[in-house]
Amino acid sequence: MKDITLIFPSSDFLLNQTMFPPLGILYLASYLKEKGLNVQCLDMALGHTLDMVESDIVGISLTTPQRESAFKIARELKQQGKLLIAGGPHPTHMEQECLNVGFDYVIKGYGEHKLYNILIKELCLFKSDETEPKATDLPYPDREALPILKYEQYIDGRQSTPILTARGCNNSCSFCSKISRKLKLQSAERTINEMHHVAEKYGFSAFTIYDDSFTISKKRLTKIVEGIKNDDFRFRCFCRSDLLSDEVCELLAKMGMDTVGIGIESGSDDILKMNMKRSTKDNNTQAIKRLHKHGIKSKAFLIAGLPGETHKTISETMEWIEEASPDDIAMSVFQPLPGSHIFNNPKKWNIDFSYNGQPLWYRGKPDEYVSNVRTDELSTHQIVAYRDFIEKKYKPQELLK
């Protein structure tokens, strides 16, 4: 028997569920194994099933869009008498809902130390009196706990794998739900060492850096670039437009950056201001032009249906796409997520939405999108129609699958 089984639920709404391994449970696994515990990891997207569970204690890590899939798993395991622990973004903000489903424990926030202490209690082991470790002191995620070569995303023709160099985000966008608003950066030295470790052990030479905004520290970025300048690596990352100066773009090019994803959200300055983005249409345009200047592709992440959305602001978004000419776009529908400013106070944001029993995924399969939001001017159906139209008109045809 394993001491604990960690499960990542399926995301059936996605076109491809196996682009990235779930780093969250892999971080948990490495921390617990370092403490001497026996850990099993299952990812339902890989075809893992509940009859593979090898422990009487099961932890399930879930996001809000996965909640129905995760709750179904929890109900089945509860009938088998398993002790259940919920963790991840959704339980952090919806503790009581998870308890109502049948979870015995709900972990809010980052879970390594909290999960360890629960296991110490439930397995009747020695009492832990250690302090919670710094995020930057945690071991690398256990990339052997799941078959990582089965996860496939490619950068410039190379199979890539994700790496996380920071936790948290210190921005306050109205629609964003996060585990922590405290930003904790991994050092440049540790980041470089982890890249070399993954390259040497697993053969990867391409990485998706999964930080909310990788370039938040130019000093750290400079050290990383200097530390890998002789390595043949390729990268994708995510950044804010206000953190993509000409100097930063030059550093990213030297690093081997293939594509930068930017949370543009809207081409309307009114929408950006209303939703606390701290960016402007012009900022976003200039960021993409700087990336192109340095030979880096851009991907614009856009949302239809944010508070204040109108026919006019949708038109402004289309005008912005034509002016800025990003290499790719990802068009989603706005879903108010638990923990976000809008979810917690919809009246302040003058928006109506449904939660109970509703699918809350914001990215998924074409022609299957569902909006749960209405603005003063746009209905749920109009928001979806605009999303579909923009994607079909502006997303490169070879990527429309």
Provide mean pLDDT across the span 310-339. Answer: 97
Residue 204 maps to a domain: yes
pLDDT for the residue 123: 85
Band (pLDDT 50/70/90 cuts) for residue 333 is very high
Band (pLDDT 50/70/90 cuts) for residue 400 is low
Residue 220 maps to a domain: yes
Residue 144 maps to a domain: no
Helix or strand (DSSP H, E) at 390: helix 380-394
Distances (CA, A) of 207 to 19, 20, 248, 297: 12, 11, 19, 15
Residue 147 maps to a domain: no
List the CATH number of the domain containing 126.
Answer: 3.40.50.280
pLDDT for the residue 171: 85
Neighbours of 121 (CB within 10 A): 12
Question: Among 72, 103, 135, which residue terminates a domain?
Answer: 135
pLDDT for the residue 130: 66
Band (pLDDT 50/70/90 cuts) for residue 128 is low
Question: Among 72, 100, 135, which residue terminates a domain?
Answer: 135
pLDDT for the residue 14: 94
Q: What domain range is 121 assigned to? A: 4-135
Do 241 and 262 meet the contact criterion of CB atoms below 8 Å apart? yes
Same domain, 78 and 124: yes
Band (pLDDT 50/70/90 cuts) for residue 399 is confident
Same domain, 224 and 321: yes
Task: Tell me what percent of the residues of the chain surpass a pLDDT of 90.
Answer: 86
Question: Among 135, 161, 181, which residue terminates a domain?
Answer: 135
Tokens of 137: 């002191």
List the CATH number of the domain containing 171.
Answer: 3.20.20.70
Same domain, 322 and 279: yes
Residue 142 maps to a domain: no
Provide mean pLDDT across the span 320-342. Answer: 96
pLDDT for the residue 33: 96
Same domain, 158 and 129: no
Q: Say which amino acid occupies 356.
A: N
Tokens of 262: 């930017």
pLDDT tens per residue, range 17-57: 999 999 999 999 999 999 999 999 999 999 999 999 999 99
- Look over the chain and give the mean of its residue pLDDT values, rounded to a whole number: 94
Provide mean pLDDT across the span 71-98. Answer: 97
The sign of the dihedral angle between the CA atoms of 80, 70, 45, 87 is negative
Same domain, 157 and 47: no
d(CA 320, CA 6): 43
Instruction: Say if strands 206-209 and 158-163 run parallel, antiparallel, or are unpaired.
Output: parallel
Band (pLDDT 50/70/90 cuts) for residue 313 is very high
Same domain, 54 and 126: yes
Q: Find where tokens 């030059």 sit.
A: 250
Task: Tell me what percent of the residues of the chain surpass a pLDDT of 70.
Answer: 98
Same domain, 301 and 393: yes
> What is the count of structural domains for the chain?
2
Q: How far apart are the first and last CA of the chain?
A: 42
pLDDT tens per residue, range 221-269: 999 999 998 789 999 999 999 999 999 999 999 999 999 999 999 999 9
Burial of 244 per CB tally in 10 Å (0-12, 13-18, 19+): buried
| Residue 378 or 124, more confident | 378
Provide mean pLDDT across the span 269-291. Answer: 96
Residue 214 maps to a domain: yes
Same domain, 59 and 161: no
pLDDT tens per residue, range 129-181: 567 777 677 899 999 999 999 999 999 999 999 999 998 888 889 999 888 77
Q: Say which amino acid occupies 188.
A: A
Helices and strands (H and E) in the chain: how many: 14, 16
Same domain, 318 and 200: yes
pLDDT for the residue 230: 77
Instruction: Say if strands 57-61 and 83-87 run parallel, antiparallel, or are unpaired.
Output: parallel
Same domain, 119 and 158: no
Same domain, 96 and 123: yes
Same domain, 84 and 160: no
Residue 85 maps to a domain: yes
Residue 160 maps to a domain: yes
Phi and psi (nearest 5°) for 223?
-65, -40
pLDDT for the residue 10: 96
